[in-house]
Structure 1
Amino acid sequence: MDNRLKSIDRLIRDGHIHIALEQLNQLTDLPGVNKADTYYLMGNVCRKQGDWQGALNNYQEAVNLDAESPAAEARKMIMDILEFYNKDMYNQ
């Protein structure tokens, strides 16, 4: 992950979601930016906002671009959470 993306990752971790999203949107069309890492970070933004579907979509796009992306594990974790919630609903 290049320094620009690392900086955005720090913003996300520190809770500066809107700033991170703005910076990610600026990077998406620039040449030389790792698109898989960008989609992974977009997924993290969506997850922090509680947008599970958006997170899954961005993580999947990252995995489509790079099967070794950390997005694969992040996507699996969200799916596990959602499956757990759904199972609980069936048991009520």
Structure 2
Amino acid sequence: MEQLNTIKELISQGNVEQAILLLDELLQTDFPQKDEAYYLRGNAYRKQSNWQQALNNYRYAIDLNPDSPARQAYNMVMDILNFYHKDMYNQ
């Protein structure tokens, strides 16, 4: 789908707000690649450090397609959020 390619390009260029707006509009319609759209929206939110929205969107993508790359992205974000360095708290 051409719209998804455009959105991928916007995200890679750092235009995440515009990408999220386009994805919001796109997800209001019925099309076969909704899992990929949720995955991309998760990526856009991740780039904004909006971790909760990123995780939610990855979860939607996984629910629609268990083999989605969103599963790896979800696990990666969880690893980031669960990481802490004990020595950093003692400074």
Smaller-chain TM-score bracket: 0.7 to 0.9
Within-5 A mapping of 1:49-68: 49-68=48-67
What does the per-residue CA deviation read over 1:7-27, in whole Å, with 9 as the maximum and x for residues that have no partner?
A: 101100110111111111110
In the superposition, the TM-score normalised over structure 1's length comes to: 0.87
Q: Distance in 1 between matches of 2:3 and 2:39?
A: 14
Q: Distance in 2 between matches of 1:76 and 1:91?
A: 24
Q: Which residue of 2 aligns with 1:20?
A: 19
Q: Distance in 1 between matches of 2:43 and 2:27?
A: 15
In the superposition, the TM-score normalised over structure 2's length comes to: 0.88
The count of corresponding residues between Structure 1 and Structure 2 is 89
Compared CA separation, residues 79 and 22, structure 1 to 2 (3 A): same
Could you list the structure 1 runs, at least 4 aligned residues long, displaced by more than 4 angstroms after superposition.
Answer: none
Q: Which residue of 1 aligns with 2:44?
A: 45
Alignment gaps of 5+ in structure 2: none
CA RMSD of aligned residues (A): 1.6
